[in-house]
Amino acid sequence: MSSVTVAAPTRPALDEAAAPWKRVPLYAIGGTIVGGIVLPLVLVRLDIGTYLITLLILFFIQAVVAQAWNLIMGYGGIYSFAQVALFAVGGWTSGVLVHSLGWNPFVAVLFSPIVAAIAALGIGLPTLRLRGVYVVLLTLAFHQLARVFTVTGPRFISGGGYGLVTVQTFSFGDNVIGDQRTIYLYYLAGFMFAIATFVIWRVIHSPLGVAVSALRDSETYGVSRGINQFRIRLLLFVISAFFTGLAGGYATHYNGGISTTIFDFPRIIDLLAMIVIGGWGTFAGPILGAGIVIGLDQYLVALGDYRELLLGLIIAGIAVFAPQGLWPVIRGLYEKYLAPEAPPPPAPARSEGTS
């Protein structure tokens, strides 16, 4: 009989070492935020500055959706293809509220994430109990459903099959036009991005996120440790939909409408490319991926349809030969060449008896 004293089982304390303010140096975050605020003011002085700002807005929107999708696919192992449909749900919600009911866009956009989350609940309840392959199917089916519905549905939604084409955009007052307005839109988008990123970071590093990763890596073990698989996946799914819907709502009032072409292939492709290229199942991966795809897009657009071909081949190639994506590679290089020595882990408490 050993003399080990068994501690009463307790829930593990929140991983302090993982808290954002410990993982990433404070000055880096602060610097990024300050830089983000100052950037448009600088850019606006350049000729192409305004264009660059709109690119950044696009980046913010896409990065939110990419992160949200990565949260459930990369971390959660939930192969959902409903992302675009949920984005559309958010967009249409806000659009219809403004277009048909005359609400103020700033108010309406708050409902986008809520309705999208409810939709996610509706999809998730029957779907998430089942194995991966069924999730693919049902979410694809939902995508189809949403597409058909927005095209052939009642007039106030389908707008004759084209979607909502003239929706009131965000208005910051009658005096705010042109570059000034673009900058305000930038701040709005950036704010949305910051919140989404922060929340997703917290989720990933919370017991929820850890549980989900555990489930993804070894489902039976996770379940045997008492993780309720279904509830966790549902929660993750809803959180992901929340931010996707928000992005959709924002996009609708940024673009002044939302089109049924959103359901076409290219949108899903772009998002998938961002996650796959950037780093599947990592935090920074989708952000990096969004940056790469949008950044390169400016050059790729010149290639015309070769762009899609290239993206498709790259996605397939990376999936098979480098499934981790770019971010782990970059991080590896960073750690090898640039990072300071990490402090040694604390010595384990000594409490075992004789064996």
Binding region for another protein (CB under 8 A) = 79, 126-127, 129-134, 136-138, 140-142, 144-145, 148-149, 152-153, 228-230, 264-265, 269, 272, 276, 280, 305-309, 311-317, 319-321, 323
Which residue's CB is nearer to another protein, number 137 or number 199?
137
Which residue's CB is nearer to another protein, number 189 or number 275?
275
First-to-last CA distance in the chain?
A: 9
Which residue's CB is nearer to another protein, number 218 or number 351?
218
Which residue's CB is nearer to another protein, number 228 or number 351?
228
Which of helix, strand or coil describes residue 163? strand
* Residue 274 beta carbon to another protein: minimum distance, rounded to whole angstroms: 13
* Residue 292 beta carbon to another protein: minimum distance, rounded to whole angstroms: 16
* Residue 157 beta carbon to another protein: minimum distance, rounded to whole angstroms: 12
* Residue 113 beta carbon to another protein: minimum distance, rounded to whole angstroms: 24
Closest CA to 185 of 166, 48, 193, 90: 193
Tell me phi and psi for residue 164, to 5 degrees. Answer: -90, 115
Give CA separation, 309 vs 31, 134, 353, in Å: 38, 28, 63
Residue 158 contacts residue 150 (beta carbons within 8 Å): yes
- Return the percent helix, strand and coil in the chain, to nearest 5: 70, 0, 25
Tokens linked to 194: 């910051």
Residue 288 contacts residue 327 (beta carbons within 8 Å): yes
Tell me phi and psi for residue 163, to 5 degrees. Answer: 100, -165
Which residue's CB is nearer to another protein, number 52 or number 137?
137
Which residue's CB is nearer to another protein, number 110 or number 214?
214
Which residue's CB is nearer to another protein, number 97 or number 234?
234
At 247, the amino acid letter reads: A
Give CA separation, 343 vs 83, 336, 340, in Å: 40, 15, 9
* Residue 249 beta carbon to another protein: minimum distance, rounded to whole angstroms: 24
* Residue 98 beta carbon to another protein: minimum distance, rounded to whole angstroms: 25
Which residue's CB is nearer to another protein, number 205 or number 307?
307
Closest CA to 259 of 189, 161, 149, 185: 161
* Residue 254 beta carbon to another protein: minimum distance, rounded to whole angstroms: 26
How far is it, in rounded angstroms, from Cα 160 to Cα 166?
Answer: 12
Residue 311 contacts residue 273 (beta carbons within 8 Å): yes
* Residue 314 beta carbon to another protein: minimum distance, rounded to whole angstroms: 7
